[in-house]
Structure 1
Amino acid sequence: MKVTSHHSYYICTLILLSMWIPVSLDKILHFELFKNAMIQQPFNDGLGVLLAYILPLFELGTVILLIKPSLRRYGFFLSAFLMFLFTGYVALAIFGNPDDLPFGCGLVFQHLSWEVHLVLNGIFLMISLLGLLLEKNIVPKSSRDLSSQDNSNDINLPKKNLGF
C-alpha cells in the first residue's frame, strides 16, 4: 500500500491524539499533584496556580480541535505552539539545573530524563508542524474557511422530542 499525504495527515493526527489525551487526562485526574508541581516551578506561585488550571484546558482544547476535521488546522497550530513552549522550557531546564525543578508533565512521562523529554518534545513539535503543513496542502481552502462550512461531515445525533 502506498502511503499518501492523506495517510500521513491522519497518522500525524493519531500520534498527537495518542500523546495529548493521556497527558491532559493525567493532569486532570491527578490535579493536586500537578498543581503542586507547578507551584514549585521557578516562577511566581500565582502563575504556577494559573498554569495548573490553564494548561490542562489548552491540552484538552487541542484534543477537541484535532478530533473535529473542520477545526483540525487549529489543533495542529495549538499543538505546535504548546510543544514549542514546552520544548523551550525543557531546554532551559537542561541548561540550568534540572535537579532543582520538579517534573510537571505528569505521570505519563515522569520516568524520562530531561534530555529524552527534550527529544520527544522536539519530535511532537515536528509532527505538529508536519500536520499543519499537510493540512494546508491536502484540505481545500474552502473547507478551512469556518464561515462557509458545510457541516455534512459532522456527526448528527437523532433529535428527540422532549415535550418542550
Structure 2
Amino acid sequence: MQIFFLESICLLYILLFVYAAVSKLLEFENFKIQLGQSPLLSPFASWILFAIPTLEIIIAILLLIHKLRLIGLLASYTLMVLFTAYIYILLKYSSFVPCSCGGVIQKLSWSQHIIFNCFFIVLAGIAIILLPKNNENYSQITKS
C-alpha cells in the first residue's frame, strides 16, 4: 500500500509538471508577457522563461527514474514551496499579481492556488517519507 501511495504521488507530480510545462510552451507569448509584468521576476524574465518549463520537465523525468526519485521529490517539494512563497509575497506586497501558470491552473483564485500548492507540498513530504531508503529494494518491488 505504501508503494501505491508513493507511485500515485509521483504520477500526480509528473502529470502536474508535464502539463504545466507544455501549457507554458503552448502559450509561450502569454507566459512571456506575464513574466515581464511580474514585479519580482521581470528583471529575470528572459532567463526564467525557459528555465521554469525546462525544470518542470527535468523534475518529471527524475520522478520516473527510481534511482533519481528522491532528487525529483526534493526538487518537486522545493519548486512548489518557491511557487507558493512567490504567490504569497506578491499578494502581500504587490498591487498587481500576474499569473504565469499554464492551462487550467491559471483559472484558480489566489486562495485556491495557495491551497493547491500546499496540497502538493504535503504530498511531496509524504512521498519523501514513504520512499524506501534502499533504492535497490524499491526497484525490485516496483518491477513485480
TM superposition score normalised by structure 2: 0.87
Instruction: Provide the identity percentage.
Output: 26
Name the counterpart of 1:96.
Answer: 93
Alignment of 1:38-77 (within 5 A): 38-43=35-40, 45-77=42-74
Distance (Å, rounded) in 1 between the aligned partners of 2:41 and 2:23: 24
Question: Over the residues paired in the alignment, what is the CA RMSD in angstroms?
Answer: 2.2
* 1:122 is aligned to 2:118: yes
Name the counterpart of 2:102.
Answer: 106
Aligned counterpart in structure 2 of residue 131 of structure 1, from 127, 132, 135: 127
AA of the residue aligned to 2:106: Q
Deviation for aligned residue 1:97: 4.2
Q: How many pairs were matched up?
A: 141
Unpaired runs of 5+ in structure 2?
Answer: none
* 1:30 is aligned to 2:24: no
Which structure is higher in RCO with an 8 Å CA cutoff and minimum separation 6?
A: 2
AA of the residue aligned to 1:110: Q
Name the counterpart of 1:140.
Answer: 134
TM superposition score normalised by structure 1: 0.77
Any idea what SS the aligned residue of 2:105 has?
coil
Structure label with greater radius of gyration: 1
Deviation for aligned residue 1:95: 2.1
The structure 1 segments of at least 4 consecutive aligned residues displaced by more than 4 Å after TM superposition are 141-144
* 1:9 is aligned to 2:6: yes
1:4-53 deviation digits (Å, cap 9, x = unpaired): 21111111111112211111111112112111111110036340121111
Any idea what SS the aligned residue of 1:108 has?
helix
Name the counterpart of 2:75.
Answer: 78
Unpaired runs of 5+ in structure 1?
Answer: 145-152, 154-164
